[in-house]
Amino acid sequence: MARGSWKRRGLWRCEGARERGAGAVWVLAFMAVVWLVGAAVVVGGGVRIARQRGEVAADLAALAGAARVGEGERSACRVAGRIANGSGGRLAVCSVRGAIVEVEVVVGVRVPVGGGGLRIVSRARAGPVGP
């Protein structure tokens, strides 16, 4: 059959007939890789922000507790807990040793890819500055 007759009948012969649809597979694979990288960046950014928020909450809670340490351990830890909650965290541990207040603040992060969550723990200590 001559080439002209294929044209008239609407038949086109592809040289690489075995590779039909390979471009679509490559595009789908590339889209999947881009989606996974994007999701990893979003999750990593969320964890980093939550870690920084937890560190700030722990620092502020320890400082607030140290400011009230003269009123007793219960008062110092109550104030530290309010500050931690107001800063986006949850006070997990609060201890007073002398004039030094040590706190642990937990911040939760939702992970959109796995559907679960992460807990980030931040610690801080505050006390008097100087003699």
11-28: pLDDT as tens digits: 555 555 566 677 888 899
The burial class, CB within 10 Å (0-12 / 13-18 / 19+), for 80 is buried
pTM over 0.85: no
- What's the CA dihedral at 76, 80, 82, 86 to 10 degrees? 160
Q: Per-residue pLDDT tens for 29-40?
A: 999 999 999 888
In this predicted structure, the answer to whether residue 57 has a pLDDT above a threshold of 70 is yes
- Which residue do the tokens 């960046």 mark? 41
Long-range contacts of 105-108 (CB under 8 A, 24+ apart): 105/54, 105/57, 105/58, 105/61, 106/54, 107/50, 107/51, 107/53, 107/54, 107/57, 108/50
Question: Rounded to 5, what percent of the chain is helix, strand, coil?
Answer: 55, 20, 20
Mean pLDDT of 47-76: 92
Amino acid at 22: A
- pLDDT at residue number 47: 87
Check the CA dihedral 32-33-34-36 and report its sign.
positive
